[in-house]
Chain A
Amino acid sequence: MSDEPLRPSLERWLPLQQQAECCEPHPLVRAQELSLRYGPTLVFEDVTLDVHEGCITALVGPSGCGKTSFLTCINRLTDLIPGARVSGNLRLDDVDLLDPQIDLIALRRRVGMVFQKPNPFPLSIRRNLCLPLKEHGMRSRIARAEATERALRDVGLWDEVKDRLESPALALSGGQQQRLCIARALVLEPEVLLMDEPCSALDPLASRVVEDLIVGLRGRLTVLIVTHNLAQARRIADWAALFWKQDDAARLIEHGAVQQIFEAPKQELTAAYVQGRSC
């Protein structure tokens, strides 16, 4: 039995850097000519996108243009969908994510995900966090308790729930549930966090809290966030990528620093979209 934390990388927990300048453009996730099909239906095609380490990258675009599907390629949730076929090239650091032999459990430790609707497990608050820790080999109860507290502090939930860790997670409010879900993803210390419209089911105040929390993650891990809220993308992201459905498949229209996308878009489509004009 080891009492060691999952990965004793202390530097991961150093004070967070908040400035966008910290983002050295060093690609961590690289997609090249990535396409996804569900059976005969082409979801998106030819997406070439570098996601830079430690930065927040926002995926924007209208509904149904493959943003969420793109996320699910990175943690291979596509494997759960019968008939899903991914082609092209997708790497996380030096790992080929499309390799069928890849260790999915290890991959999903490195790549966490937060879903659109808050979806805590129907378990107690503590067990929501302890279950994944236990699953990934953290055997010591003390280590689990520490990791749980740290993750709950990270999302600003500790003071709200520390006296009722044994009560059902589903009794929390929507915003608290979503923060618990983020904590559940963070507790595994992933390198990449995929967020699928994490604020869209929340009220504006709760949404703001989650948004601040995401900004706080900058520099510590790489965040890929799908959002329909352009103002939000502009507020929190360092990079932005616009997905758009053309003909019968979605494509990546433009990708760049968030300021450039919003202030000096190169594509007419991007300009129209960010200004709210019909295209």
Chain B
Amino acid sequence: MGSRLFPSAWLDSSWRWRSLAVPRDAAAHLAVWGAALVVTGAFTWIVADVVGHGASHLSLEFLTAAPADAGLSGGIAPILVSTVLILCVCMAVAIPLGLGTAVLLAEFSRDANRQGRFVRRSLDVLAGLPSIVFGLFGYAFFCHALGLGFSILSGGLTLACMVLPILIRSVEAALRALPDEIRATGAALGLSKTTLIRSLLLPAASPGIAVGLILGIGRALAETAALLFTSGYVVRMPNSVFDSGRALSVHIYDLAMNVPGGDGMAYASALVLLGLLVMMNALATELVQRWQKRKGLLLV
């Protein structure tokens, strides 16, 4: 995005062509563009593949009907509902816990603090833990120890455990990136720490919070392994969060691996999952922007 003073078109024309006159710059240029092209190319390929194979199966009926013949016909309505419910449980738990922990780490325990260091290191380890481990933990803890059984609640809580480390670390980074000036100014005006955090720091860090949310939602929506163990794979419409329910990713896995000839429906489900992810991202960005506008923050 070009700034007002230096519109990107101006930068592009002068910078790109002039720099190509120097061989070393030209090589660097090529490398950068090449890398970007490879990444975008791979992404485009995946999307095109999913759309190409899945679009023909997609219809209103697909979204509103229950699956039949082990998923070979019918639709994905109960699965969509389960997925959204799991996501809601996950976010309802992860967002307050995540914000709270991030605030604690960024504002109350600076680097020198031993407990803070311990929490931070644990989170980094947790963030890199394979999801199957979370699945086993969720199965042992939520399904058995807490007696929640195979349920949307167990699945959502397990996902919350998975999402929390990412969410906390990105919110913490966003809070730390804010200039200390805000804190000093707030203190000099006699603002309490609560006001400072609630009215100034969190709104100012909201773009970073949005990034953490989007990463977390992405991880939660994509999760299969952990959900197999916790929310189960029953395809009927859930009555409440205590019912078992099959998530979209589990459905895709099942169709692709266990149902001969299920590829087409798997692709269609993947397309829906992709759409859901894009929608969630847009929603998170939109909500943060609204919040910032309401708080009178400058949007650059």
Contact = CB atoms under 8 A, between A and B. Distances in A.
Nearest to A71: B188
Given A119-B181, A121-B182, A135-B195, A168 B187 contact: no
B191 A122 contact: no
Main secondary structure of the interface of A (DSSP, over half): helix
A170 B296 CA distance: 10
A131 B195 contact: yes
User: B181, B187, B188, B192 — which one has the most chain A CB atoms within 10 A of its CB?
Assistant: B188
B236 interface: no
Interface residues of B, number: 23
Contacts of A170: 298
A163 to B, nearest CB: 15
B190 A132 contact: yes
Contacts of A119: 181-182, 185
B295 A115 contact: no
A221 interface: no
B112 interface: yes
Nearest to A134: B195
Interface SS majority for chain B: helix
A123 B185 CA distance: 13
A135 B297 CA distance: 19
A117 interface: yes
B110 A115 contact: no
Contacts of B188: 75, 77, 108, 112-113, 115
Interface in B155-190: 181-190
A67 interface: no
Contacts of A104: 187, 190
B200 A123 contact: yes
Contacts of A168: 296-298
B290 to A, nearest CB: 15
Given A108-B190, A122-B297, A122-B298, A131 B199 contact: yes
Contacts of A171: 298
A169 B183 CA distance: 17
Interface residues of A, number: 35
A77 B184 contact: yes
B250 interface: no
B214 interface: no
A121 B185 contact: yes
Interface in A73-127: 75, 77, 79-80, 82, 104-109, 112-113, 115, 117, 119, 121-124, 126-127
B192 A135 contact: yes
Contacts of B182: 119, 121-122
A185 B183 CA distance: 15
A185 B185 CA distance: 10
B204 interface: yes
Contacts of B110: 82
A77 B181 CA distance: 12
A59 interface: no
Question: 7 shortest A-B CB distances, which residue pairs?
Answer: A124-B296, A108-B190, A168-B298, A113-B188, A105-B190, A132-B189, A170-B298
